[in-house]
């Protein structure tokens, strides 16, 4: 879908559902990662994440457009346009707009963490650490003996 088709769709949704004209620009923004779209307060433009259409289709795209148009029309009219405002929540309900969009990015698998185990040369006390320790700088907290690295594990 092109930016021109998106603009036509935004104008159509604005007229059909809100009964008001959309007088600014609407376009796709590939740099949006976690959000479906955003309304720009200063320029009044609407940016849409192209992944919304690619992953979930036209129904989800129209839902995101309706959500952003709620921000747009309330801001233009000088009413509460933020998510926490009663005006915004009421308009979401009356236009049947979604409060959130579907998940666009899968969460990355947790990085493997390393676990360092150090042992005191005098008293044999074990120390488990996530961060590597400088054994020339630090000593045992119990007997002030020298520390040395016993093992290095990769944990998930």
79 and 22 share one domain: yes
Say if 14 falls within a structural domain: yes
Residue-wise DSSP of 94-154: HTT--SSPPP-SPPPPPPPEEEEEEEETTT--EEEESS---TTT-B-TTT-PBEEEEEEEE
Q: Respond yes or no: is residue 153 known to be catalytic.
A: no
pLDDT of 156 > 70? The answer is no
Domain holding 49: CATH number?
Answer: 3.30.2010.10
80 and 128 share one domain: no
90 and 117 share one domain: no
Q: 102: pLDDT confidence band, cut at 50, 70 and 90?
A: confident
Contacts of 119 (CB under 8 A, 6+ apart): 125, 126, 127, 147, 148, 150
Say if 99 falls within a structural domain: no
Say if 103 falls within a structural domain: no
Taking the C-alpha atoms of residue 42 and residue 15, their distance in angstroms, rounded to an integer, is: 22
Domain span at residue 119 reads 113-155
- CA geometry: angle 64, 67, 68, nearest 5 deg: 90
Q: Per-residue pLDDT averaged across 22-42, rounded? A: 91
82 and 127 share one domain: no
Q: 151: pLDDT confidence band, cut at 50, 70 and 90?
A: confident
Closest listed residue to residue 49, CA positions, set 40, 38, 58 = 38
**Catalytically annotated residue among 4, 47, 54, 68:** 68
Residue 1: its pLDDT value, please?
84
73 and 125 share one domain: no
88 and 123 share one domain: no
86 and 21 share one domain: yes
From first CA to last CA, the distance across the chain in angstroms is 41
123 and 88 share one domain: no
Domain boundary among 94, 121, 139: 94
The 10s digit of each residue's pLDDT in 38-94 is 999 999 999 999 988 888 889 999 999 999 999 999 999 999 999 999 999 999 999
Say if CB 11 and CB 24 are below 8 A apart: no
């Amino acid at each position: 879908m092109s930016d021109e088709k998106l603009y036509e769709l935004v104008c159509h949704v604005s007229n059909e559902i809100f009964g008001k004209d959309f007088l600014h620009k609407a376009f796709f923004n590939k740099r949006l990662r976690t959000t479906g779209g955003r309304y720009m307060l200063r320029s009044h433009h609407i940016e849409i994440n192209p992944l919304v259409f690619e992953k979930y289709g036209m129904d989800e795209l129209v839902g995101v457009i309706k959500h952003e148009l709620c921000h747009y029309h309330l801001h233009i009219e000088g009413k509460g346009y933020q998510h926490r405002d009663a005006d915004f929540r009421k308009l979401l309900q009356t236009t049947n707009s979604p409060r959130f969009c579907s998940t666009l990015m899968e969460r990355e698998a947790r990085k493997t963490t390393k676990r360092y185990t150090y042992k005191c040369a005098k008293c044999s006390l074990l120390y488990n650490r996530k961060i590597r320790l400088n054994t020339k700088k630090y000593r045992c907290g119990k007997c002030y003996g020298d520390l040395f690295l016993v093992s290095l594990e990769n944990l998930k």
